[in-house]
Amino acid sequence: MGDFLQQLIGYINPYYLQIIVNIGIGIILALGLNVVTGLTGQLSLGHAAFMSIGAFTSAVLTIKFGMPFSLNLLLTGFITAGVAALIGLPILRLTGDYLAICTLGFAEIVKVVFLNLDVTNKALGLSVPAANTTIPMPVVVWVVVLLTIVCVTFIHNSRFGRALMAVRGDEIAAEAMGINVTRYKVQSFALGAFIAGVGGGLYAHFMGYINPSDFGFLKSVDILSMVVLGGLGSITGSVIGATILSAAPEFLRFMANYRMLVYGGLLVCMMIFRPNGLMGGTSFTDMVLRALGRKPRLKIIMEQKKSEISRPGNGDT
Amino acid sequence: MFFQQLINGIALGSTYALIALGYTMVYGIITLINFAHGEIYMVGAFVGLFATAILKVNFFVAMLIAMVVCMLLGMFIERIAYRPLRKSSRLSALISAIGVSIFLSTLAQMLFGANAKGYPEGVFPVKQITIGSAEISTLQLLIIAISAVLMISLEFIVHKTKIGKAMRATSEDYNTAALMGINVNMVISFTFALGSALAAAGGVLVGLLFNAVSFNMGLMAGLKAFAAAVLGGIGSIPGAMLGGLLLGVTEVAGVAFGFSSYRDAIAFAILVLVLLVKPTGLLGRKIQKKV
């Protein structure tokens, strides 16, 4: 099985293969953040920290214990989720931008701590040996991508997912309906971290080298841009956003030095022309249904309750 | 020793405070975290460098030039990247700000190269003054003095002038202020101009203090200043000053106690701890939940 897949992968140009895998990892991370920011409405500016924790945990598990990769990823996910729950419990009491800055601060602290730990090889970064599996990494990544998409879709349509959406819509109203807001917030935070941790583990083993500085503020911003560009709360949107933004630096490569300049300009333009994201307020199933001439369900939960976290102070008075 | 570190901390902290003021004013008015603010500070440092090294002007003139250039830049950015998004979600504006930030720092890297540059020697004659056991450079005193003057004039503008009154009204309630005949667009532009000018002054002073100006200096300084603004209670002007000074002093103290490799984490650790105890920052207004 492994040999066959390896051979199959061999037909693909390694450069394209790398882009494809990067897109896959981007999708995983964006879906994770989408649970926290899109579905539950909690703005997190430190998602890369969980990716970092996942990457280093997974790398250490491989180096020290040579653990089978599937088990490794699962354990990594749980450890990352545990850390997130621990962090989330106190800081999720904060709201809005205070929460955002706290997650940002947490991410910086994680980065600096990893830069000073022996087990992460300090500022030199860690070389990660090949994963303990016969299946080639690109296949593993995309299997995880599909699994994540399926899981997240189920969550969106479950009781749990509806509770999260209620929290996003109005915390006080949700609480009055008997939803334990804190519990659901922490759970969604942990779930997002679980997915990010797995994404980090895949990233570590695909890249073969990780450095704490790779998971700084800019990485968090990258992931957030994917989610917002795609449209908050939309799974299809996150997938599209992650695909575009993961591939964009590669397609802009012909511009060499101007690449990041264009990327920055692109972010501004996309937000101006499509402020709710590419798929904001709509979903893939609805688009298919509409194309078939049928009505979308419930006008997608009252247009995502006018989407987004509402602007405090302004507008609602 | 203590006094020495205190002065070092206050000098560093006042530059944080100068940047933090821009964050807090913009946030107070349109609840936007202006992530491009750190980049404006970086541009200010470069304009100051350009003015002293190439135009060979006096240091104070250079700082004025930097402030004016950044004022225009700040207003321009607001017009291009934020105003079209005023009615849409806050996150879109946030991403737009991040886009501007990436754009500006890349532009600076292309124009000025990746290496840090120093101010030409003798721009400001640095002398060491010994007071008791502490050695204080005239540069530190200059930084503290300029920051104090700028902050006092800001307080004056906000509390004693007509435009300041308009700013306070707009931050109180955007819509009502507009109904009362306040030109809110103009007020927002003015806020961006004020904040950017302060950031530019901070940039020139820091460039002189560390003698290094580079394209990526805006990122960490911006994040720390933002942390300072939140620490003091975002939206509150005295809070930003207090937060900046507090962060500067604790950071210097942390380094003095031997945690220098954790330097960048100290600011954020303090921030997280303070927010856990007082969720709206030190001088922040209580958020009232409306049902």
Cβ-based neighbour number of residue B210 at 10 Å:
16
Q: Is the pLDDT of residue A35 over 90?
A: yes
How many angstroms away from the CA of A61 is the closest CA of chain B?
Answer: 26
Whole-angstrom distance, CA of residue A66 vs CA of residue A87: 29
Name every chain A residue with its beta carbon within 8 A of the beta carbon of B291.
172
A313 touches chain B (CB under 8 A): yes
- The interface residues of chain B toward chain A in range 201-260, judged by CB-CB distance below 8 A, are 219, 223, 226-227, 230, 234
Question: What does DSSP say about strands A209-210 and B128-131: parallel, antiparallel, or unpaired?
Answer: unpaired
CB B237 within 8 A of CB B225: no
Residue A2 amino acid letter = G
pLDDT at A309: 47
How many angstroms away from the CA of B158 is the closest CA of chain A?
Answer: 20
Q: Is the pLDDT of residue B194 over 50?
A: yes
Whole-angstrom distance, CA of residue B262 vs CA of residue B267: 10
Which of the four pLDDT bands, split at 50, 70 and 90, describes residue A260?
A: confident
Name the one residue in this structure whose structure tokens are 């999708």. A27
Q: Is the pLDDT of residue B113 over 60?
A: yes
- Cβ contact, residue pair A268, B174, below 8 Å: no
**H or E element: which one contains A310?**
none
Name every chain A residue with its beta carbon within 8 A of the beta carbon of B261.
112, 115-116
Looking at chain B, list the stretches that DSSP marks H as alpha helix, in order from N- to C-terminal side: 2-30, 37-53, 59-77, 90-112, 138-160, 162-172, 174-179, 184-210, 217-232, 237-256, 263-277
pLDDT at A315: 37
Residue of A100, A261, A271 with shortest CB distance to B95: A271
Closest residue by Cα to residue B91 from A70, A114, A237: A237
Domain membership of residue B110 (yes or no) is yes
Name every chain A residue with its beta carbon within 8 A of the beta carbon of B222.
none
B131 bridge partner residues: B134
Residue of A90, A113, A218 with shortest CB distance to B265: A113
The whole-number average pLDDT for the span B85-103 is 87
Q: Best of B24, B85, B91 to disrupt the A interface by mutation (most A CBs within 10 Å)?
A: B91
Domain membership of residue B290 (yes or no) is no
CB A40 within 8 A of CB A207: no
Domain total of chain B: 1
A126 bridge partner residues: A210
Domain membership of residue A7 (yes or no) is no
A148 touches chain B (CB under 8 A): no
Whole-angstrom distance, CA of residue B31 vs CA of residue B197: 20
When the pLDDT of each residue in chain A is averaged and rounded to a whole number, the result is 85
Whole-angstrom distance, CA of residue B4 vs CA of residue B25: 32
How many angstroms away from the CA of B263 is the closest CA of chain A?
Answer: 8
Name every chain A residue with its beta carbon within 8 A of the beta carbon of B290.
316
A132 bridge partner residues: A68
Domain membership of residue A8 (yes or no) is no
If one compares A316 and A188, the residue with the highest pLDDT of the two is A188
Per the rule left: phi > 0, alpha: psi between -120 and 50, beta: everything else, A283 is beta
CB A73 within 8 A of CB A195: no
A242 touches chain B (CB under 8 A): no
The count of CB pairs under 8 A between chains A and B is: 156
B279 touches chain A (CB under 8 A): yes
pTM: 0.85
Which of the four pLDDT bands, split at 50, 70 and 90, describes residue A312?
A: very low
- Cβ contact, residue pair B96, A307, below 8 Å: no
Domain membership of residue A268 (yes or no) is yes
The 10s digit of each residue's pLDDT in A126-182 is 888 888 888 888 999 999 999 999 999 999 989 999 999 999 988 889 989 899 999
> What's the gap between Cα B225 and its chain centre?
6
Domain membership of residue B284 (yes or no) is no
pLDDT at A250: 81
Whole-angstrom distance, CA of residue A51 vs CA of residue A200: 4
Running DSSP on this structure, what letter comes out for residue A118?
T
If one compares A129 and A49, the residue with the highest pLDDT of the two is A49
Which of the four pLDDT bands, split at 50, 70 and 90, describes residue A282?
A: low
Contacts of B271 (CB under 8 A, 6+ apart): A101, A102, A105, B227, B230, B231, B247
- Cβ contact, residue pair A113, B85, below 8 Å: no
How many angstroms away from the CA of B179 is the closest CA of chain A?
Answer: 13
Full residue range of the structural domain in which residue B63 is found: 2-277
pLDDT at A284: 66
How many angstroms away from the CA of A306 is the closest CA of chain B?
Answer: 10
Angle between helices B184-210 and B138-160 (to 10 degrees): 170
Residue B259 amino acid letter = F
Strands (E), A109-255: 126-127, 209-210
pLDDT at A228: 86
Dihedral of alpha carbons A88, A90, A95, A97, sign: negative
Which of the four pLDDT bands, split at 50, 70 and 90, describes residue B108?
A: very high
Domain total of chain A: 1
pLDDT at A27: 96
- The interface residues of chain B toward chain A in range 110-139, judged by CB-CB distance below 8 A, are 110
Full residue range of the structural domain in which residue A277 is found: 14-306
**H or E element: which one contains B137?**
strand B134-137
Whole-angstrom distance, CA of residue B265 vs CA of residue A301: 41
CB B161 within 8 A of CB B168: no
Which of the four pLDDT bands, split at 50, 70 and 90, describes residue A114?
A: very high
Instruction: Write the CATH number for B93.
Output: 1.10.3470
How many angstroms away from the CA of A114 is the closest CA of chain B?
Answer: 10
C-alpha torsion angle, residues A294, A300, A303, A307 (rounded to 10): -140
Domain membership of residue B283 (yes or no) is no
Instruction: Write the CATH number for A244.
Output: 1.10.3470
Domain membership of residue B173 (yes or no) is yes
The 10s digit of each residue's pLDDT in B216-244 is 899 889 889 988 998 888 888 889 999 99
The 10s digit of each residue's pLDDT in B67-88 is 999 999 999 999 999 999 888 8
Cβ-based neighbour number of residue A74 at 10 Å:
16
Contacts of B242 (CB under 8 A, 6+ apart): B231, B232, B282, B283
pLDDT at A67: 87
pLDDT at A296: 55
Please work out, in degrees rounded to the nearest 5, the angle formed at the alpha carbon of residue A90 by the alpha carbons of A61 and A115.
Answer: 40
Closest residue by Cα to residue B189 from B216, B211, B209, B167: B167
How many angstroms away from the CA of A127 is the closest CA of chain B?
Answer: 22
Name every chain A residue with its beta carbon within 8 A of the beta carbon of B31.
97, 311-314
A66 touches chain B (CB under 8 A): no
Domain membership of residue B286 (yes or no) is no
Q: Is the pLDDT of residue A300 over 90?
A: no
Which of the four pLDDT bands, split at 50, 70 and 90, describes residue A211?
A: very high
